[in-house]
Amino acid sequence: MTFGDRAQAGQQLAQVLFEHGGFADALVLALPRGGVPVAFEAARRLALALDVQVVRKLGVPGHGEYAFGAIASGGVTVIDDGLVRLLGLSPAEIEAVARTERSELQRRERAYRGGRPAHDVRGRKVLLVDDGLATGATMRAAVRAVRARHAAAVIAAAPVVSPEALASLRGEADEVLWVQCPDPFVAVGAWYDDFSQTTDPEVCRLLAAAREFAPEAHAMP
């Protein structure tokens, strides 16, 4: 079964989260850009505040969609050492990719928050939401970044999750929730009829709309 688009996938994930329960005072953090339309639907259904946790995939040179790691706000880096050895990536190649992605990560932080500080996650349950998890590298980086900010619990959620990502996250997140976990997985985009790129203006529009239906969470000083 495929999802029509990210909004429809978000609605189905929102139902899973609603039926699961236990998120009354949680904070929803979307992994931009594709995770934002999904997380928006979840936050709206649960009447929760929505923010972003910016994470950037570290893509294999020449095959950018295939991740060998990820970086997240707060200086968190996750590297798949086994894959790096298998592909023979040099430290210089890794650093070149990381340097480019750090620059884009900082740009997105500025663009999406518009000067607003990050929400304070200390002592709170956090729902991290993406549009799909293939290797799980970006979500692992996000989980570690949120844990470093002293969240009480971190739940990873996505409409479609690969068995590989599920296995890798079970040792990182307190819980992983999904709509589908197909095997074979192929790729995230294979499970969407419309997987067109989410734009920066769309991210900003959805974050602004979310501030209308849920109160702002207490911001970090």
Q: Report, as an integer, the average pLDDT of 187-199.
A: 96
Q: What CATH number is attached to the domain comprising 150?
A: 3.40.50.2020
Whether residue 113 lies inside any domain: the answer is no
Distance CA 103, CA 118 (A): 18
More confidently predicted of 69 and 37: 37
More confidently predicted of 5 and 170: 5
Q: Report, as an integer, the average pLDDT of 159-180.
A: 96
pLDDT tens column, 107-156: 998 899 877 888 889 999 999 999 999 989 889 999 999 998 999 999 99
Whether residue 72 lies inside any domain: the answer is no
CB neighbourhood size of 208 (10 A): 10
Whether residue 164 lies inside any domain: the answer is yes
List the structure tokens of 53. Answer: 């946790």
Whether residue 70 lies inside any domain: the answer is no
In this predicted structure, what is the pLDDT of residue 214?
73
Whether residue 13 lies inside any domain: the answer is yes
Whether residue 63 lies inside any domain: the answer is no
Distance CA 164, CA 80 (A): 13
**Total number of domains constituting the chain:** 1
Supply the range of the domain harboring residue 205: 6-54+119-213
Of the listed ranges 9-23, 30-44, 59-73, the least confidently predicted one is 59-73
Whether residue 202 lies inside any domain: the answer is yes
pLDDT tens column, 23-50: 998 999 999 999 999 999 999 999 999 9
> Which residue, chain included where needed, has tokens 């849920």?
214
Name beta bridge partners: 160.
180
Is 212's pLDDT higher than 90? no
List the structure tokens of 7. Answer: 């909004």
Which ranges constitute the DSSP H helices of the chain?
6-20, 35-46, 81-87, 91-113, 137-148, 163-169, 200-213
Q: How confident is the model at residue 221 (pLDDT cuts 50, 70, 90)?
A: very low
Which residues are CB-neighbours of 193 under 8 A, at least 6 positions away?
Answer: 2, 3, 4, 5
Distance CA 175, CA 173 (A): 5
In this predicted structure, what is the pLDDT of residue 42?
95
pLDDT-above-90 percentage for the chain: 74
Is this structure's pTM higher than 0.85?
Answer: yes
Average pLDDT score over the chain: 91
Whether residue 83 lies inside any domain: the answer is no
